[in-house]
Chains A and B, each alone.
Chain A
Amino acid sequence: MSRKKKGFIPALALLMVMSIVLSACGGKGGVEGTPEKPVELIWYTIGTPQKDVDKVMAEVSKYTAEKIGVTVKMSMVDWGDYAQKLQVMTASGEAVDIMFTSSWAFDYVQNARKGAFLQTDDLLKEYGQGIVDTLDPAFLEGSKVDGHNYGIPANKELPAQEVWRFNKKLLDKYNLDISKVYSLESLEPMLQKIKASEPDVYPLAVDKNQVPYVPYDYVIEKLPMAVPLNTTDFKIVNVLDTPEMKQILKTMHKYYKAGYIPTEAATLDSLTDLQATGRWFADRATSQPFADNLWSASYGYPVVSTPASEPLIYNWSVMGSMQAISANTKYPEKAMQFLNLLNTDPVLRNMVDSGIEGVHYKKVNDNVMENLDESKNYDMPTFALGNVMLTYLNTTDPANKWEEFKKFNDAGTKAPLLGFNFDTSKVATEIAAVNNVKQEFWAALMTGTVDPDVYLQRANEKFKAAGLDKVMAEAQRQLDEWRAANK
């Protein structure tokens, strides 16, 4: 025994000395987070990884070190992998300071409740005043979870408007008129024409993520609980039981059988390949002012669109793009300072968005720029990186683009469930089971691959068995409470 003790004491002493030396080393440099000794923020964001990210971030870091004493390391995760990868990363407590979150990828509300994000109420007051001043108040208000903010929404279009998009080359070739198009049914004559004349083109491009538009506001995206947009009593219904959904699924199935929709739609991950080759005629997308310019520039051929719904402000459009501070960040103040700068400083915002001036883009005048060839190595999703209204215009954009955005935002009316966030913790078991059922039937039904007369009933039976009624009852209870509190 005594021999063991002897070995133990020197080891302990060594450990103590080491820890003193190490901590002394750490303290020598003075205060962290100054231009001389910046702290590094790790930033995870969504989008196809770009070759020049590190190069651009080196420039960004020079600028931010000078301004607020931080450097930035950005990691991009591809669209399809983002939610999954970030879920695993936050669950295992990996070091992240800032991360992209939204209603549609790496679910904001759910993860805020699980404790993935830092609550930012006080930080916003202290270091984020610029954000509070520039953002449309509807954004911060609409993205509150249980009364607190956990993320910084990007300043962008507030309402969501569904549109039909068309490949203009084909429209012109067959001299088709889109001015009367609005409903899914109204597309039929055109689809027929294209199917008959262009065998290599998909008349209606649909992938497995698409859901036909029905005038309902979903409680949780892509789960069949919703209230009608014109509701007065706020009664939650199973959207699969509504006449509108039944009708539109019937039409989708008809189109599928007629060969208008890609045969493998229910298993198609994305339409990227179709868009790259231009072998599509029409599809549906969510729009913003002058979106046609954006799409045309991105695909390399003209795209035009026409409305398919009214512009409405939904929960999911308010939370469509946000940056949150990780709950385990070491530098919460610095992270908020950086987000504040990102949303208020045009130099930083455009550097993050378009890269290095003279390398990736050149300026035409004060707020208009043109992409250079190198921009293919740094093509970022503008909407996902903070305040879009600071970004330089493209040469094709009208000078009043941002005024139009503001008008569009002011004109948007609120969807019935705006501001209501369903707390699923009491029905987590049922939600998991309902989700499993959804995966089994959803894509096949929504893409028209299967006959709704047969499969709707099967799906509904299984949803019931999985406990959808209980989930709906709980949602209804919370909704009634929320309405009483917000009268």
Chain B
Amino acid sequence: MITWEPLDVFSKTSTKNKAMLVMVLPATLWFILFSYLPMAGMVIAFKEYRYSRDGFLASIIESKWVGLQNFKFLFSTNDAYIITRNTVLYNVFFIVLGLIIAVAMAIVLAEITNKKLAKIYQTGMFLPYFLSWVIVGYFVFSFLSLDRGVVNRIAGSFGIDPMNWYSDPTYWPIIIVVVFLWKSVGYNSVIYLAAIMGIDKSLYEAAMIDGANKWQQIRNITIPMLTPLITILTLLAIGKIFYADFGLFYQVPRDSGTLYSVTNVIDTYVYRGLKSTGEIGMSTAAGLYQSLIGFVLVITSNGIVRKFNKDNALF
């Protein structure tokens, strides 16, 4: 019988941690099936994909290699720049504003003494999180429709000319950010609220005895206690900075062509490309570009965090 030390160690630790390993199993399988296995499909980005009658795998193998040909369409216009800029800038705003507002809301909710009222506010803020983007899209449409929208109606009653929101990109960066925050802030503030509830009450009592007012308590107790959670959630968000919320950028602007300059992000671009030309190779190329840059970003931001505080880094 062959013995190999690492294998022995592995079998020993795995019998010891049997229960834990069983618990991670579903997630591991999920990742293998839906994240690692499909990675082999990356080769399509370097091929001119043609159908074979022997099925999908045969199609991949038999298709012709074309090198970087499929990446060219991304960079032939300034599309690559626009979608990269849009994706990253929006996400930066989402992360920064989302964090500030969610933490502020959590602190406010925690400080409300009438617990019943706090629950009502919390539920009200949480509710939009459960709506699908399609519904949110119609919701926004009822505000911004040219002739029936609430906004134009109100503007009209003040004698302001109605505005064609869906063909003028000027205000869309703001609209997108506001809609995103409206939908997501409730969820995040609940996470922070839970963390605040977990802070030892004796800390606040001690502070009060020392004569600290509310503002000083928040600054010197609540926020420092929240910092690890804030770092982790922000890091995770940065990891996804190259992934845009498809529904937000597709449903809410109603796929209006004139708004693409400010609403086209990598995800919608890939989707539209695949839909209109059916060139799987090019869509895969765009997807690969997204993953690669995303990967670089996560590694870099994690590296920066590690430099400042090793414990707060993800890996």
Binding site for B on A (CB under 8 A): 83-84, 87, 90-93, 107, 110-111, 114-116, 259, 263-264, 266-267, 327-328, 425, 428-433, 435-444, 449-450, 455, 462, 465-467
Cβ B146 vs Cβ A264 within 8 A: yes
Nearest CB in chain B to that of A467: its residue: B76
By a CB distance below 8 angstroms, the chain B residues around A267 are 166, 254-256
Cβ B167 vs Cβ A450 within 8 A: yes
Cβ A436 vs Cβ B269 within 8 A: yes
Identify the interface centre among B50, B164, B278: most chain A CB within 10 Å of its CB.
B278
Identify 7 new A-B residue pairs, CB closer than 8 A, beyond the known A428-B279, A432-B277, A435-B277: A91-B278, A93-B51, A114-B49, A267-B256, A433-B77, A444-B256, A455-B258
Partner of A433, one of B49, B53, B69, B79: B79
By a CB distance below 8 angstroms, the chain B residues around A428 are 48, 279, 282
Cβ B79 vs Cβ A436 within 8 A: yes
Within 188-240 of B, Cβ neighbours of A (below 8 Å) are at none
Cβ A91 vs Cβ B280 within 8 A: yes
Within 250-309 of B, Cβ neighbours of A (below 8 Å) are at 254-258, 260-261, 269, 272-280, 282
Consensus secondary structure, chain B interface: helix
Bound complex: CA of A91 vs CA of B72, how far in Å? Answer: 22
Q: Is B35 an interface residue (CB 8 A)?
A: no
Bound complex: CA of A450 vs CA of B51, how far in Å? Answer: 40
Nearest CB in chain A to that of B2: its residue: A1
Partner of A266, one of B70, B257, B279: B257
Consensus secondary structure, chain A interface: helix
Cβ B145 vs Cβ A263 within 8 A: yes
Cβ A115 vs Cβ B52 within 8 A: yes
Give 1 or 0 for each of B47-65: 1 = CB within 8 Å of chain A CB: 0111111111011000000
Contact residue range for chain B? Answer: 35 or more
By a CB distance below 8 angstroms, the chain B residues around A110 are 278
Cβ A429 vs Cβ B258 within 8 A: no
Cβ A440 vs Cβ B258 within 8 A: yes
Given contacts A91-B49, A91-B51, A264-B166, contact A433 B146 (CB under 8 A): no
Bound complex: CA of A87 vs CA of B49, how far in Å? Answer: 12
Cβ A266 vs Cβ B53 within 8 A: no
Given contacts A432-B277, A435-B277, contact A114 B50 (CB under 8 A): yes
By a CB distance below 8 angstroms, the chain B residues around A433 are 73, 76-77, 79
Q: Is B111 an interface residue (CB 8 A)?
A: no
Cβ B254 vs Cβ A91 within 8 A: no
Closest Cβ–Cβ distance, residue B54 to chain A (whole Å): 7
By a CB distance below 8 angstroms, the chain B residues around A437 are 77
Bound complex: CA of A438 vs CA of B269, how far in Å? Answer: 13
By a CB distance below 8 angstroms, the chain A residues around B269 are 436
Given contacts A90-B51, A328-B55, contact A266 B260 (CB under 8 A): no
Give 1 or 0 for each of B31-55: 1 = CB within 8 Å of chain A CB: 0000000000000000011111111
Nearest CB in chain A to that of B1: its residue: A3
By a CB distance below 8 angstroms, the chain A residues around B272 are 436, 439
Bound complex: CA of A450 vs CA of B146, how far in Å? Answer: 13
Cβ A466 vs Cβ B257 within 8 A: no
Bound complex: CA of A440 vs CA of B276, how far in Å? Answer: 12
Closest Cβ–Cβ distance, residue A273 to chain B (whole Å): 14
Cβ B258 vs Cβ A450 within 8 A: yes
Cβ B167 vs Cβ A435 within 8 A: no
Bound complex: CA of A110 vs CA of B49, how far in Å? Answer: 13
Cβ B258 vs Cβ A449 within 8 A: yes
Nearest CB in chain A to that of B149: its residue: A263
Partner of B54, one of A111, A328, A455, A465: A328
Bound complex: CA of A438 vs CA of B272, how far in Å? Answer: 11
By a CB distance below 8 angstroms, the chain A residues around B145 are 263-264
Closest Cβ–Cβ distance, residue B258 to chain A (whole Å): 5
By a CB distance below 8 angstroms, the chain B residues around A90 are 51
Q: List 19 A-B contacts (CB under 8 A).
A: A83-B278, A87-B278, A93-B52, A114-B49, A114-B51, A263-B146, A266-B166, A266-B257, A267-B166, A267-B254, A425-B48, A430-B73, A432-B277, A433-B73, A433-B79, A436-B269, A449-B258, A462-B77, A465-B78
Bound complex: CA of A429 vs CA of B279, how far in Å? Answer: 10
Closest Cβ–Cβ distance, residue A485 to chain B (whole Å): 25
Partner of A93, one of B56, B69, B78: B56
By a CB distance below 8 angstroms, the chain B residues around A431 are 277
By a CB distance below 8 angstroms, the chain A residues around B258 are 266, 440-441, 444, 449-450, 455
Identify the interface centre among A259, A425, A432, A466: most chain B CB within 10 Å of its CB.
A432
Cβ B73 vs Cβ A429 within 8 A: yes
Nearest CB in chain A to that of B255: its residue: A267
